Structure 1
Amino acid sequence: MTSRKPAPMPVRRPTMTDVAKAAGVSQSTVSMVLNNMSGARLSAETRSRVLGVAMELGYRLPRREQPTPQVAAASPAPGLRRNLIGYLVDEISTSPHPVVSVDGARDAAWEHDCLVSIIVTRSNADQEAAAIAALRANPMLLGIVYSTIFTREVTLPAALTDDAELPVVLLNCHDERHRLPTIVPGEVGGGHAATEHLIAMGHTRIGFINGEPWMEAAKDRLKGYRRALATADLPFDPALVRDGDWMSGTGFEATLSLMREARPPTALFCANDLMALGAMEALAQLGLKVPEDVSLMGYDDQEISRHTHPPLTTMVLPNYEMGRAAVEALLAAADLPATQRAARRHLIKIDCPLVARQTVRPR
């Protein structure tokens, strides 16, 4: 009886990860070299080393011909892992918040050897359609993050909802039917935590200077304020609430108005830091000291809140963490078949933590 030799094991095709390890560089660097990405600041020595290692390992370089959009969107070159994340945002230059979200998304993507392509559309339907078409034509596209400058309901482009195979995550916005993974700030919890902190310091007359009342952030922060009062068995007094427009001028005027009440507040909760700056100026004009006479709470934790006199106690708007969470949710979705992806659609609210500085003191 003769023994049969075991069948030879199939030779595993080398991957981009193998090339990266052998060349001593990141997988993103390998991707940029092998795809000949323009604008990548890589030395000639690094490019030569990566290409040499790829050839030694027998890694199949991508073809130089440009595939058609249909082919590119469906299949990257053999051995390549999709690593491009499209990031659509309606506005980025008029507020510091979306820039910080981009930073979080970029850092999370880089940790997973992915790159982020950021496109500002200003909510222009034609620009959105062109941007999505261009991203889908790239064979390395992993998925798309769709983001807005302020939290709101959006009508999504058909290209993002009609293709079940394309992973999409919503950042700081949501659609009416809740069809996609969604990352938003926990604004109700933030408003609650800010008010609860003032209550814990012994304040029972807490003025609230809100933003524009039609905005979701303003609605939710007010809801949190009211819930904290109810939890502490304190009555809600409409006379202690003023609507503003997020600017320091309205914080100034609203504070003057609140302090003219027959029973003025002993603490003020402003729905953003800029209005808190206006409130601080108004209190100084009235001869009142912060926090000795009136405690003051902001919201957003903008850079300037660290440099007021005294430094402003505030709530963090977790833009960076939201950007990271959006990319992580996208990567998780991309690892699942489209049918399982649909079953895992969910809403993730990122907590708004308290930053205690020096504008709040016990009553």
Structure 2
Amino acid sequence: MLKMEDVAKIANVSTATVSRVLSNNKNVSKKTKEKVLKVINQLEYKPNRLASNFRKKTSETIAVILPDIANPFFSEIVKGFRDEALENGYHLLLCDTGNSAAQEKEFVELVKERFVDGIILATARMPKDEIYKLSQEIPVVLACEYVESYEIPTVSIDNVSAAREATEYLIDQGHTRIGFITGPLEIILSRDRVKGYRQALLLREIPIHDFLIQEGDFSVKSGYDIMTKFLANEQKPTAIFASNDEMAIGAMKACKSKGLRIPDDISIIGFDDVPISTLVEPELTTVSQPKYEIGSQAMKMLLNIIETNDLKQKQIVLPHKLMIRQTTHP
């Protein structure tokens, strides 16, 4: 395999000069630069990027840890990560935890050993003390989630406010018996959405029935199973608020299997506004998150920490929007 010393020998310059040419250092004369580049092209020499990065104490690589890469919600967020990173000369290393806290921890330990410049956590199932400790060792930004009690840089929406708004919309449509399918309650954003749902009912003085709050896992199947459970009850809900679009679509499928018409017999709202929400029939009313912007802003924040170590704003809360479509009705 060709080495930098081979290029230097043929070009009759030092290895330091070859290195300066490769790094586009301005302290190399035009004549010398042209001579070295000519030899590099003739030999088809490819520099050892890893060795170079170790010398520079940087890898120009960002680790992104995702809870479920198959979830369409994360595709736009990853595009935001990627575009901002590439624009600034960085690359992404994607890690999929499969919604496992243990796997999340393993990936964190692995990327620390493999020398990355920073980490974006789009999942936060590890104990918050461990996430804080990690943020003291390497630049960390949270996307979508946050950690209570610690000022770790975060980009998200206000999940409490968004859930409250969606529930209030159903109440304004005349619904008082509203079933809520939560996400996994170990996740803070799931708990925040429950909080928003409860706030809306309390503000309108509507009784809260524990049976109408059921925990899902963000999958279509859990939405289907919980909706089937709701429909087996004598006092069925007249509306459903699901904590993500996939569970909402599962709930729609369960309703249709029982011969119910949406929204004439039951109204349904989802959360996230993934592409399939406009492809199902009828189109799903949902809370839209600015997914691409979450990814872009999180990466911008992380690169700012890496390159300047100066972050004026540690918490960015982006606006959400209730997308009213065809699955809700008075």
- Normalised to the residue count of structure 2, the TM-score between the two structures is 0.71
The separation in 2 between residues aligned to 1:127 and 1:256, in whole angstroms, is 37
Q: CA deviation at 1:311?
A: 0.9
* 1:301 partner amino acid: D
1:104-148: per-residue Cα shift (whole Å, max 9, x none)? 11223345x333332427446665445335445xxxxxx423214
Matches of 2:105 and 2:211, distance apart in 1: 42
Counterparts of 2:254 and 2:180, CA distance in 1: 15
Change (3 A) 1:180 1:272: closer
* Whole-Å separation in 2 of the counterparts to 1:312 and 1:237: 25
Unaligned runs of 5+ in 2: 1-20, 37-46, 98-102
Deviations 1:2-32 (A, max 9, x none): xxxxxxxxxxxxxxxxxxxxxxxxxxxxxxx
Cα distance in 1 between the residues matched to 2:151 and 2:111:
21
Taking the aligned partners of 2:256 and 2:265, their CA distance within structure 1 comes to 10
- What residue in structure 2 maps to residue 14 of structure 1? none
Tell me the amino acid that sits aligned with residue 117 of structure 1. L
Query: Out of 221, 238, 241, which is 2:210 matched to?
Result: 238
Map 1:1-363; keep pairs closer than 5 Å: 34=22, 66=51, 69=54, 71-73=55-57, 84-89=60-65, 93-111=69-87, 113-120=88-95, 122=97, 123=103, 128-135=108-115, 143-149=117-123, 153-154=127-128, 155-156=130-131, 160-162=135-137, 167-174=139-146, 178-334=150-306, 336=308, 338=309, 341=311, 344=312, 346-361=314-329, 363=330
Deviation at 1:329, TM superposition (A): 1.5
Per-residue Cα deviation, 1:296-339 (whole angstroms, up to 9, x for no partner): 11122233221211111112244322211112212443464x4x
Distance 1:308 1:68 in 2: 48
User: Given the superposition, is the C-alpha separation of residues 323 and 284 from structure 1 closer, same or farther in structure 2, using an over 3 Å criterion?
Assistant: same
Q: Using a 3 Å threshold, how does the CA distance of structure 1 residues 280 and 87 change in structure 2: closer, same or farther? A: same
- Residues 318 and 89 of structure 1: CA distance in aligned 2, closer, same or farther (over 3 Å): same
Structure holding more helix per residue: 2
Cα pair distance change 1:152/1:347, threshold 3 Å: farther
Q: Which amino acid aligns with 2:91?
A: V
Question: SS in structure 2 opposite 1:289?
Answer: coil
C-alpha contact (below 8 Å) 1:153/1:173 kept by paired residues? no
Rounded Cα–Cα distance in structure 1 between residues aligned with 2:225 and 2:52: 60
Query: C-alpha distance in 1, partners of 2:64/2:222?
Result: 32
Structure-2 separation of matches of 1:359 and 1:126? 41
Once the two structures are TM-superposed, the CA of residue 266 in structure 1 deviates from its matched residue by 2.0
Distance (whole Å) between structure 2 residues aligned to residue 159 and residue 244 of structure 1: 29
State whether residues 240 and 258 of structure 1, in contact with CA within 8 Å, keep that contact through their aligned partners in structure 2: yes
- Distance in 2, matches of 1:295 and 1:126, equals 41
Structure 1 residue ranges (4+ consecutive) displaced by more than 6 angstroms after TM superposition? 57-61
**Does the CA-based 8 Å contact 1:180-1:345 persist in structure 2?**
no
**Aligned partner of 2:82: which letter?**
R
Q: How many corresponding residue pairs?
A: 290
Q: Is the 8 A contact 2:241 2:270 kept in 1?
A: yes
Query: In structure 2, the residue corresponding to 1:299 is in which secondary structure?
Result: strand
Q: 1:57 to 1:325 in 2, by over 3 A?
A: farther
Q: Secondary structure at the match of 2:272?
A: coil
Partner Cα distance (1:91, 1:243) in 2: 18
Name the stretch that deviates more: 258-267 or 288-297. 258-267
Gaps of 5+ in 1: 1-32, 36-49, 75-82, 137-142
> Which amino acid letter does the alignment assign opposite residue 71 of structure 2?
S
Name the CA shift for 1:280/1:331 in 2 (closer, same or farther; >3 Å).
same
| Contact kept in structure 1, 2:132 and 2:150, CA below 8 Å | no
Call closer, same or farther: CA 1:58–1:199 in 2, change over 3 Å. Answer: farther
The Cα shift of 1:157 comes to: 8.8
Q: What RMSD, in angstroms, separates the aligned Cα atoms of the two structures?
A: 3.8
Report the Cα distance in structure 1 between the residues aligned to 2:175 and 2:148, rounded to whole angstroms.
39
